[in-house]
Structure 1
Amino acid sequence: MWAPLRGLAVRRCDDEGLINGTWVAGAAGAAGAAGAAGEADEVGAGGEPPRFVVQRVSPIFAPEVHDDIEAVTAHLAGRGLATPRLLRAEDGALYARDSAGAVWRVMDFIPGRTHHRVGSPALARAAGALVARFHRAVDDLEHAYRHVRAGAHDTALHMERLDGAATGGEGRRLADAILDAWRTWQGRLDMPLRHCHGDLKISNLRFSDAGEGICLLDLDTLALQSIDVELGDAWRSWCNPAGEDATEARFDLEIFAAAVAGYREVRPFGAQEREALADAVERIALELAARFCRDAFEDRYFGWDAVRFSTRVAHNLHRAAGQLSLARAARRQRGEIARLLAGG
């Protein structure tokens, strides 16, 4: 289906993520990955990086998502930014189906490093600057998305669904705490929509060995959404050193300050953006807490760690409590968050 793949060794990616099946294709005889825990560049024989990433796309993404990826990456490339690009199949299509109907795609491999946590202010600053370059580059993009995830960040709707799903016991008590926190949240929900990546966890950003941001990866979540949702979700992830599997979270102001400084140097915040962003981490943490807690009742959506937890329900209650803890930490530090956003 893709002529450039012929003769290349293809192997499963050691660090493929949770949704799409991922392989790398490189020079004949390509070996395994270098480095530990997926933090280093993928390399093959002779130290050469792979040439392409091959993915079996999850059915949660409609095939039309490739039209969106093509439009945004073409725009980014036209602005001089590094970005993975789709390789067209021999028939000119952006993707192909196999005999079982599964959707496959091939994209350029971007050499660099992948990190799974923000371990230093320097990395946070580079991440903030990279996201700002992306946002600045797509400020003038004109594109109507074909693949739309309706209600993905409709926080009020997630709360309604939680209230309807929660029955009794420990889960209901946790649900009530989440719903109470949402009722007393005092942020704003009226920010304009803009082009966003949609899932800025740190492993979706590519860095050089020197620590500079190169490009954004995993582009299936591209969408129109507000900047407080985009950055609130990024900071929720980057600034919680305990991670999503700890019930006692901490919001790291040093990491946050560095991320904000890196972003602001490239694309300064407007007054309304600063106001909305001051409450954004709390909002998105509560939203994710509601989603985890709801799945503790419905028991069908999120993956779970069967080694650490006896059931998906137990893992989801644990994660919901952690996100509620993070939301409370962000609320306690709201004044400092606002000051840092203002350049203090």
Structure 2
Amino acid sequence: MDIELQDVVSQFPQLRGIKHIQPIQSGLINRTYRVITDGADDYILQRINHQVFTDVDLLQHNIGCVTSHIRTKLIERGEPDVERKVLRFLSTAAGKTYYFDGAHYWRACVYIRGSHTQAEVTPDTAYLVGLKFGEFESMLADLPEKLDETIPDFHNMEFRMAQLREAVQADKAGRREKVQALIDEIGRDADEMCLAERLYREGKLPKRICHCDTKVSNMLFDADGKVLCIIDLDTVMPSFVFSDFGDFLRTAACTAPEDEPDTDKIHFNREIFRAFAKGYLESAVSFLTPLEIEMLPYAVRLFPYMQAVRFLTDYLNGDTYYQTQYAEHNYVRALAQYRLYREVGKAVPEMQAFISKEIDKVYSPWRTQGSTERKI
């Protein structure tokens, strides 16, 4: 064990009897290790990327509130094996769930034995993702503690459009003329795609506690393929439910990589949509408002549109945010995401019909509460 890790683990009294610490390669943000001990439990040790998550105290406050609330809910409903179904973070001798060594922030949680992650997206796994993340939001719908954004304006479309307009005006990399046609196309739909923020200000659309990084690899499965719990809680924060619904489908229901240069290969996988939406509505419909349900197709359109805006902004700024493999990479990404946005738009009537049918199956009373008539 190197000196840095030796000092870190000594700050968590529960980390004793250590046999080995091995790096875990998965994950792009934090540096992660598995701590193997001679006791009943192993642990996960992470060095938090505080360049991304600048307020670590807020970050850990959010995670602590969420895991404590979920644990209470699981116990109240008599769920067996609770400790394998929600993460448990360790405290330092000072009583915090993180340790600052003067340069880096560290945290540790109990490793859930017999668990594994999956990466492949199939209709079956898409259904499980929808079901589990809908349940996750449902359990947190009555969370009494106030949470704040760990990444401010992360999924704020108005903010992302403002960034694009600034980038267009500044034209730091001298690329505006080349991409003017795409800028104009994106601009034509900007007002429509910023609808959520306006409805929120009008008091018509709530923010929920959402995961904001919805994907198959952020769930732990047991040996029988059953979902144990949701992991990677750094982005759990107040957001529109569209964050969990739309961003999953942006990647999982696209038939090509997000940087596919041949846009003719980019289509919207409607089977994945149906599987995910079915699972999500089964577990989330009890707390969703009629307007939230009505706007779920908007959510599916929103996220490729938002990502196209973000890639294009970075391209205009000279590729300062996203890592690129070649000079036009961000422009190719923006074109690919905009093509997906258009492909999703073609599927809106089908999505609306499917959601309506599923709602009738799982919970019809919402229709009697009234629905805002709005073309989305």
- Shared topology, TM-score over 0.5? yes
Partners of 2:248 and 2:147 lie apart in 1 by 22
Q: Which has the larger radius of gyration?
A: 2
- 2:22 corresponds to 1:11: yes
Is the Cα contact below 8 Å between 1:26 and 1:49 reproduced in 2?
no
What is the aligned partner in structure 2 of residue 55 from structure 1? 46
Task: Write 1 or 2 for the structure with the bigger share of helix.
Answer: 2
Count how many residue pairs are aligned between Structure 1 and Structure 2. Answer: 316
2:209 counterpart SS class: strand
- 2:302 corresponds to 1:283: yes
Rate the CA distance shift 1:8–1:342 in 2: closer, same or farther, 3 A: farther
| Worse-superposed segment, 314-323 or 181-190 | 181-190
2:357 counterpart SS class: coil
Give structure 1 regions of 4+ aligned residues with deviation exceeding 4 angstroms. Answer: 183-189
Deviation at 1:141, TM superposition (A): 0.6
- 2:77 corresponds to 1:77: no
What is the aligned partner in structure 2 of residue 169 from structure 1? 177
Partners of 1:121 and 1:320 lie apart in 2 by 27
- 2:270 corresponds to 1:260: no
| Worse-superposed segment, 258-267 or 164-173 | 164-173
Partners of 2:192 and 2:116 lie apart in 1 by 41
Partners of 2:110 and 2:295 lie apart in 1 by 36
What is the aligned partner in structure 1 of residue 322 from structure 2? 302
Deviation at 1:270, TM superposition (A): 4.1
**Among residues 298, 313, 319, which one is paired with 2:333 in the alignment?**
319
Gaps of 5+ in 1: 29-47
Gaps of 5+ in 2: 1-10, 75-81, 200-204, 359-376
The code of the aligned residue for 1:343 comes to K
User: What are the residue-to-residue correspondences of 1:1-344 with 2, within 5 Å?
Assistant: 1-6=11-16, 7-15=18-26, 17-27=27-37, 51-59=42-50, 60-61=52-53, 62-64=55-57, 65-80=59-74, 82-98=85-101, 100-110=102-112, 111-118=114-121, 120-166=122-168, 167=171, 168-183=176-191, 185=193, 188-189=196-197, 190=199, 191-247=205-261, 248=263, 249-268=266-285, 269-298=288-317, 299-304=319-324, 309-311=325-327, 314-343=328-357
Is the Cα contact below 8 Å between 2:148 and 2:237 reproduced in 1?
no
1:106 counterpart SS class: strand
Deviation at 1:332, TM superposition (A): 0.7
| Worse-superposed segment, 120-129 or 6-15 | 6-15
Q: Percent identity?
A: 27
Partners of 1:69 and 1:184 lie apart in 2 by 33
| Worse-superposed segment, 198-207 or 316-325 | 198-207
Deviation at 1:185, TM superposition (A): 4.7
Deviation at 1:169, TM superposition (A): 3.3
Is the Cα contact below 8 Å between 2:124 and 2:275 reproduced in 1?
yes
TM-score (normalised: structure 1):
0.85
Rate the CA distance shift 1:256–1:71 in 2: closer, same or farther, 3 A: same
Is the Cα contact below 8 Å between 2:133 and 2:244 reproduced in 1?
no
